[in-house]
Amino acid sequence: MLENLRERLQAHRPRRAILRLPEAAVLMPIVDRPEPTLLFTRRAAHLNTHGGQVAFPGGKREQGDPDLLATALRESHEEIALPPYRVELLGQLSDVISLHGIRVTPYVGLIPPNLPLVADPGELDAIFEVPLAHFLEDRRHHTDVIPVDGRLWYVPNYHVDGQVIWGLSAMMLVELLAEGFGRPMSLHRKPPGRLCYFPDRLLDIQQPVTR
């Protein structure tokens, strides 16, 4: 399964936002277990921005970062003590633009199991894993429907052991599942199941201008 994922992501051509915006990057770590998992973090409750929300490790690009992959790896090391040399890059996904005007580039990486990861208490209060099968089988709790610039976005909302995975992280997951695993998922096609409608731009997303 993971070998096919590597091949599909290497052939994928992610969309790049052309807007000149502050840049950030995240790492979507797949843990190489017999039953692979995805690793997530939960932002510390005391943070002013996105406190308590589930996210992938990552953050804003700094002046010394040679590229956005370096940003994702540096931030992952700072946030969860993940050594960059333990990450095998599988591929890159399309840029997403946050409501705060930050262009976020996701990278998919494979990491070994049972690494001694530690959450930075200044930024995170949890590190946890979710079986990849949970997403491949599309076990979403419901779908958030958000109108953005006159177009509906269908963003899955996952509930796993008390954790809620939604918003930008869920959008990245849809592309990973569609492009990396060939699942028939789209942010712009109405799925079956329960829908939850939100006002315009309530979630942290914007429509990116891409090429």
Whether 19 is in a domain gets the answer: yes
The domain that contains 149 carries what CATH number? 3.90.79.10
Whether 207 is in a domain gets the answer: no
Whether 9 is in a domain gets the answer: yes
Whether 33 is in a domain gets the answer: yes
Q: Quick one: residue 182, left, alpha or beta (phi over 0 = left, psi -120 to 50 = alpha)? A: left
Q: Which domain holds residue 76?
A: 2-197
Whether 209 is in a domain gets the answer: no
How many domains does one find in the chain? 1
The whole-angstrom separation of Cα 160 and Cα 165 is: 8
Residue 49 pLDDT > 90, yes or no?
no
Whether 211 is in a domain gets the answer: no
Q: How far is CA 24 from the centre of its chain?
A: 12
pTM of the model: 0.92
The whole-angstrom separation of Cα 192 and Cα 154 is: 11
Residue 51's pLDDT is what?
A: 60
pLDDT in tens, 160-197: 999 999 999 999 999 999 999 999 999 999 999 999 99
The whole-angstrom separation of Cα 41 and Cα 97 is: 20
* Sign of the alpha-carbon torsion through 173, 174, 179, 180: positive
Whether 186 is in a domain gets the answer: yes
Tell me what the mean pLDDT of segment 116-144 comes to: 96
Whether 35 is in a domain gets the answer: yes
